[in-house]
Amino acid sequence: MTAVPMGSLTLVATPIGNLGDISPRAVDALRAADGILCEDTRHTAQLMAHLGLTVPLASLHAHNEQQRTASVGARCLQGARLVLVSDAGTPCLSDPGAELVDAAHTAGVVVRSVPGPFAVAPALAASGLCPVPFAFWGFVAKKAAQRRRDLGRQLTAAPVGPMTHAYFVPG
């Protein structure tokens, strides 16, 4: 019996605003990929052009993640090395990918992560606020009533003692 090649899913954090912020490890992972899953292929195509890389792109965003998850897992189990990126920052943190990663783990796919830009860390460091401990809550809700409800729940669930709360505000 021959062994079936095991592929992988690698999460790669991408630059937030400045393409020069991409790490050499991230470039290596993108270069070695058989395919790249991304929120917006047009956006990722700009990054790939900047890096001089040509790797097939496929969309994976909030509206199609559930439908694509099974086929992505199957490709990895057949030996494909796939990379997941978001438009800016780290996949799964206020961006699509968490459902895919969970399904990949369940299917036995190797999941790796290449660290990179995380806007919250440098913002906290420069803020003058106490950065430890902190909670990152993602994007605040756009609607005021939902935002009040979320903030009330999140701020009352804090552990004993002071804590800095970090949010993304939609632009």
| pLDDT (tens digit per residue) in 152-163 | 888 876 666 788
pTM for the full model? 0.82
**Residues 80-86, mean pLDDT to the nearest whole number:** 96
Distance CA 83, CA 35 (A): 6
Give the tens place of pLDDT for each residue, 91-150: 988 789 999 999 999 999 999 999 887 778 888 888 888 888 888 888 888 898 998 898
Tokens of 122: 């440098």
Question: 127 and 37 in contact (C-beta within 8 Å)?
Answer: no
- Using the predicted structure, report yes or no on whether residue 1 has a pLDDT greater than 70: no
Phi-psi region of 89 (alpha: psi -120 to 50; beta: other; left: phi over 0): left
- Using the predicted structure, report yes or no on whether residue 3 has a pLDDT greater than 80: no
Give the tens place of pLDDT for each residue, 47-70: 999 999 999 999 999 999 999 999
Distance CA 131, CA 108 (A): 36
**Residues 83-93, mean pLDDT to the nearest whole number:** 91
Hey, which bits of the chain come out as E strands? 8-12, 35-38, 57-59, 81-84, 110-114, 134-139, 164-168
Closest-CA residue to 11 (of 107, 108, 106, 117): 117
Tokens of 43: 């956006």
What's the angle, vertex CA 109, arms to CA 51 and CA 86, rounded to 5? 35
What's the angle, vertex CA 40, arms to CA 33 and CA 119, rounded to 5? 85
Distance CA 162, CA 44 (A): 39
